[in-house]
Amino acid sequence: MMSTLEQKLRNFIDWCENGTDPRSKDWPLIQTPWVTYGAVVAYLIIVWQGPKFMAKRKPFDLRQFMILYNAFLVVLSAYMFQLFLRSAWPRPGFSWACAKMDYSDDPSAVMLAKACWWFFFSKLIEFMDTFIFILRKKNNQISFLHVYHHTTMPMLWWIGVKWVPGGQAFFSAMINCFVHTVMYGYYLLAAMGPRVQPFLWWKKYITSLQLAQFVIVMIQTILSLYIDCGYPRIVLYALAVYMVSHIILFGNFFNKTYRQPRTKAAASKEVNGQTNEVSNGYVLRKRQHTRLDS
């Protein structure tokens, strides 16, 4: 038993040392982890110190910047989505149920690897989401879920682009790009001001779409583990655990943001209705009593 575990550990170490993708190893930001992981540390420091820096300052008016920023991310997300889609379909021998890693120079395989790099890079750009909250003093929106998602994605995807930029990695990234196209489209409209507010009733459905995304990716990952097409299983296990964490966190967010307020509002309405009924009854009795006295 011990020798088997030891052998698996050695095989994993050998894979880490020798299994990097030769196509991506010299791409920007991929040569060394220190730039990406250093950026994550800097991000966390800004999240920690930023609100303190802004505490005695007026919030910035970033409306014009937010319009440009969100429009850029809509275009970038849509661009990445079509890259992932074109690299995976239609493609002979490429399975959406379980796609093995292809390290060849096949044009579709290279396109998929480049799409993975763009996806990784976009997660560094999305640090700006948090910086906008800080500068606008919207600190209530900097939740644990928000910071957890924004710190883990670039770190995990650096690993993905370094070792496995392709194969089964396409599915979760492609779905996420679609969701982000919708999400940043909403943020773009919201940044345009009060005149479009009546058309933003669909905000809660974005969270539902995000939750659906994690459930779909979770199911597809379990299917890939069952089929076992040769894609590194440890990556799939890690993805499954990561999806579980997001389902829990986003589910909790959805419950607190949409279900609990509705329940409280219904309870409040019922209590207010009973109070009004009692109050109206008291007024009616008082009027009746007054009329009798007269």
For residue 20, the surrounding DSSP H or E stretch is: none
Find, among 203, 180, 175, 146, the residue nearest to 88 by Cα: 175
Tokens 């550990």 correspond to what residue?
Answer: 9
Q: How would you label 64-87 residue by residue, b for 16+ Cβ within 10 Å and e otherwise?
A: eebbebbeebbebbbebbebbeeb
**Are 191 and 70 a contacting pair, CB within 8 Å?**
yes
Residue ranges in 192-259 assigned as alpha helix (H): 203-227, 233-254
DSSP state string for 149-177: HHHHHHHHHHHHHHH--STTHHHHHHHHH
Q: Which residue, chain included where needed, has tokens 């089929």?
A: 227
Q: Say if residues 235 and 161 touch (Cβ distance below 8 Å).
A: no
From the list 149, 150, 180, 246, the catalytic residue is 149
Tell me 33's DSSP state. Answer: S
- Stated as kind and residue range, the H or E segment containing 138 is none
Sequence-distant (6+) residues with CB within 8 A of 105 are 23
> Is the peptide bond prior to 198 cis by the omega test (within 30 degrees of 0)?
no
- For the question of residue 149 being annotated catalytic, the response is yes
Measured in whole angstroms, the distance separating CA 151 from the mean position of its chain's CA atoms is 11
Residues present in the chain in total: 294
Active-site residue numbers? 149
